[in-house]
A and B are shown apart, each in its own frame.
Chain A
Amino acid sequence: MEQPASQNKLAARQCLMAADKFIKDSQFVEAKKEIEKAKSLDPTNLYISAFIDRINYFEKEKSHSAKSAKPIPAPKVPSAQTVVPAQKPPAQNVVVPQAPKQTAPQQVKQPAPTNVAPPKKAVEPVELKQPAPSNVAPPKKAVEPVEQKQPAPPKTIEPPPIENPIVENRTVEIETPKPQRTPDPVQVTPKIAIPDDARVDSPVVTPSLRNQSNEHAVTETQFEEMKRKIDLLTKALEDEKKAREDMNRQQIQQAITQFRGKLEKAWAEGAPSEQKLIEFDQLAVSLSIPENVVRTIQREVKIEMYGRAVKEVISKRQLLRSSSSTLEWLRKVYKISMEEYLEYESKFLMDLVADQYKGTILQISADDQTKKDITPRLKSMGYAVVTSPSPEDALEKIDKLNPNVIICESSFGAGSISGIRFLHILRTNSKFSYIPFIFLSTEEDYALLTSSELRPNEGFVKKPSNFDELSVLINTKLLWFREYIMSLSK
């Protein structure tokens, strides 16, 4: 039948108490057995590992003492979970005197007893090669110290319990003694009894540990402050680095833009001469543009310029004997390899599709700047554009031309009818009254046109016209016109 957990815990504690006794007697094998028992009874007992640490520590010290007669520092509490040391660390700096009446001078092979009381009387010096065994009875009289490196005997203290075992845990870990370190004059008493239940549950800390705990807290504060400063410095460095990177990026970007602009100009009408290309390489070097970037830009510009040329020539394809032979010729002009052409074939084909003939636009304008701004862009969109300088001239052409869209200035100079009058004339003719008609309005006519009752096929944009706005208006009016034609066929 399984024992209740509380009974197991109690039994485990008793095992630990027994182990403690064995440790005091340097009977580590037995102590280990008791610890194993305790472990099997209550694996959650936090003191088991502390006991194991103690045993390991004392065993190590014992073997070290056996090898060397040199004194070593007194051990401190080896584990955080150790309530109090049940045994004084082996004597290292103090050679324990022997009472001459009770014991003959002898060679001590075992470490000094941990619970030896200070001698009451001086005794004859004895030859002592090894510390006294731990089970040697304490002398009744004080004896003369044979050798004393540290005059002050260890003080016996009653360490107060600490409230937070975690603090003690951390403190004690920091306090793990180093063999070369000078021992702390305030040492834990070896006479502290085996921990009873209360003590097992109440960890204690020495004043030195408390001091060191405070020191540790101060160190932590300093550490936090240093960390904060490091963070600030790191951030400042990162900001500076980012700013420099941004600046470099901007400089490189400017250099690339400059280089690209010049390159585009040179490639606008085909591949530049070898001499020109060498000059561009030198320019790239002077602008500190990396060679791989230069090659990429050159390739991009070449392809882009070729693409533009294709677009331009395709808009005039009806004037060409063969589009394919023209494209072949352009490939030679722009030194586009077949691989490059195939790589970008889809793009070029898209250009061809996009530039399919969309219709004919009759553009009526006496303003050269307006024609210069709008006409090429309409053509590049795929429209055939016929220009006319005046409404009168347009009236002569319109019947033969049969345009899909009319774009007309709202006003013309003296001696010519206005665009608005021209629209009224077209409205009277059933053949032309439904052709999409778009005014390029002056500032003066804008208010008039805004308040006018225009038909669905009619519209206007203000000069200087935004081409995108004009383009949208053309498409809208064409869409209306197609729907209107379809409605007639139904």
Chain B
Amino acid sequence: MNEMNEAEAARKKFRKELKSGTVSLVLLSILSRAEHPMYGYQITKNIDSGEGSGPDMGQGALYPVLRSLEKTGLLESRVEPSVSGPPRRYYSITEAGRETLVDWTGTWEETRNFVDATLKGDRDV
């Protein structure tokens, strides 16, 4: 029983680490394809509706990532009042963000190819 829990915990930890590394890339990619600036809830909906399990974290954990991407100048945002609720922060990607996305996509592909090759045993150990 205890072993099961440990395995489960280890799997969760691995998943979390893996996905927290890729969430910035996913967010940049979504916003680079968006025709209009998007607010947080739309982005989380978009992620949830996608294939696969998506980032294995609460939706709330995406917001600080958006904030940090904005702080580094990859995204920009503006606040607009909404009809009935609190104002919404609309995010859009900056030119620097698009360049970074291309760069990171390259890194992602290299990493993926490397990991795939290792897992399939194409590489000599």
Q: Do A and B bind each other?
A: no
User: Which positions in B face A, CB cutoff 8 Å?
Assistant: none
User: Which positions in A face B, CB cutoff 8 Å?
Assistant: none
